[in-house]
Amino acid sequence: MSDSKRVRVVFESRASRIALVLFALGVIALAAAPYWGGRDDLQLLAEIYAYAALASLWNLLAGYAGLVSVGQQAYVGLGAYLLFALAILLGLSPLWALPLAGIISGLVAMPVAGLVFRLRGHYFAIGTWIVAEVFRLAASQVSLLGGGSGTSLPASMIIAIAPSRALRDAVEYWVALALALTILVAIVLLLRSRYGLALKAIRDSEVAARCSGIDVMRTKVLVYIVTACGTAMVGALIFLQRLRISPDAAFSVNDWTAFVIFITVIGGIGRIEGPIIGTIIFFVLRQTLADLGTLYLMMLGLVAIAVMLTAPKGVWGLIAERFGFSVFPLERRVILDDGTARK
């Protein structure tokens, strides 16, 4: 081991490289969806991307940074309201308003973090929920945006995205796919960076991490702000596609937190692939069982509880344990010159 040139540090393994190639082919096929799919297909796929992105972001927050929030609907709603405000009040094009809504939400998340980070563990969770409620109540006081009953995006704004409806559908679809991929890549890069190592250290032992010079608070606040920014952009996009916003829909705890948590837990919390698998399972179940209404929600809750108690690593955890396999490897592997790999 004295000759350092004979040792390489890599993330990938052969299996993960094959999986990544398959993933890339899948993405290309999905990017071509406007050419092979109908309007309903595009909308469903865009919704799937949105949930995969929201779940990945919540996974980063709860699964990697240990910040269990039940108030991420605060940023879904904030992003959406900012998009509508920037478009309606300032006449900004929705496609420009989208990233701007993310940035402003990230800025808003800073003072919010200052408040909710005073609460620990379980209490942090409920604190984030209160913040979401404050945002919802504040939004319903803004009469320029329709107050409690909400408002619609004016037709001129919709046409500004693209002149024809088909083209508009395609543009919105591509934005949804690009946003979800950007968020996924950003999370993988963040977790592979020194912040990712810090998060892993914090997860293993907060005290030990602090002793080895990691600023635990700073790292957690950073993750909180990044997550808020991403969540807000996804929220803005969801409501851009819906064309209508109201406080109850934009800040819904069921739609933007309950579903997202269930997706992540069922798919596998604390793993990059978990939320993606969870989203696929969630939509398969929804397409087959949605007619059951409230019963469907109860079943989802029961499944999530059962998974948490019997297989806390979720579906992907079971797969990964069985096959020792990962599409987005985060662990460094040391390759020796004789070709053997060590963790």
Q: Which of 15, 16, 47, 133 binds other proteins (CB under 8 A)?
A: 133
Distance CA 33, CA 20 (A): 20
Contact of 108 with 228, CB cutoff 8 Å = yes
Phi/psi of residue 62, nearest 5 degrees: -85, -45
71: left (phi over 0), alpha (psi -120 to 50) or beta: alpha
Q: Which of 253, 280, 285, 330 binds other proteins (CB under 8 A)?
A: 253
Check residue 110 for interaction with other proteins (CB under 8 A). Answer: no
Instruction: Considering the complex, state which of residue 148 and residue 154 has its C-beta at the smaller distance from other proteins.
Output: 148
User: DSSP per residue over 14-62, as a string?
Assistant: HHHHHHHHHHHHHHHHHHTHHHH--HHHHHHHHHHHHHHHHHHHHIIII
- Nearest distance from C-beta of residue 119 to other proteins, angstroms: 7
* Residues in binding contact with other proteins, number by CB under 8 A: 42
Check residue 289 for interaction with other proteins (CB under 8 A). Answer: no
Check residue 27 for interaction with other proteins (CB under 8 A). Answer: no
Of 166, 180, 160, the closest CA to residue 31 belongs to: 180
Q: Which of 186, 258, 330, 335 binds other proteins (CB under 8 A)?
A: 258
SS3 246: coil
Check residue 216 for interaction with other proteins (CB under 8 A). Answer: no
Number of H helices, E strands in the chain: 17, 5
Of 326, 317, 333, the closest CA to residue 17 belongs to: 326
Check residue 260 for interaction with other proteins (CB under 8 A). Answer: no
33 alpha-carbon distance from chain centroid: 22
Q: Which of 83, 88, 228, 300 binds other proteins (CB under 8 A)?
A: 300
- Nearest distance from C-beta of residue 304 to other proteins, angstroms: 5
Q: Please give the torsion angle defined by the CA atoms of residues 83, 85, 87 and 89, in that order, rounded to the nearest 10 degrees.
A: -170
Check residue 261 for interaction with other proteins (CB under 8 A). Answer: yes
Residues 6+ apart with CB under 8 A from 24: none
**Stretch touching other proteins by CB under 8 A, among 73-81, 119-127, 169-177, 218-226:** 119-127
Instruction: Considering the complex, state which of residue 100 and residue 258 has its C-beta at the smaller distance from other proteins.
Output: 258
- Nearest distance from C-beta of residue 25 to other proteins, angstroms: 35
**Stretch touching other proteins by CB under 8 A, among 40-48, 116-124, 212-220, 237-245:** 116-124
Q: Which residues bind other proteins (CB under 8 A)?
A: 62, 66, 68, 70, 115, 118-119, 121-123, 125-127, 129-130, 133-134, 137-138, 140-141, 148, 253-254, 258, 261-262, 265, 269, 293-295, 297-298, 300-302, 304-305, 308-309, 312
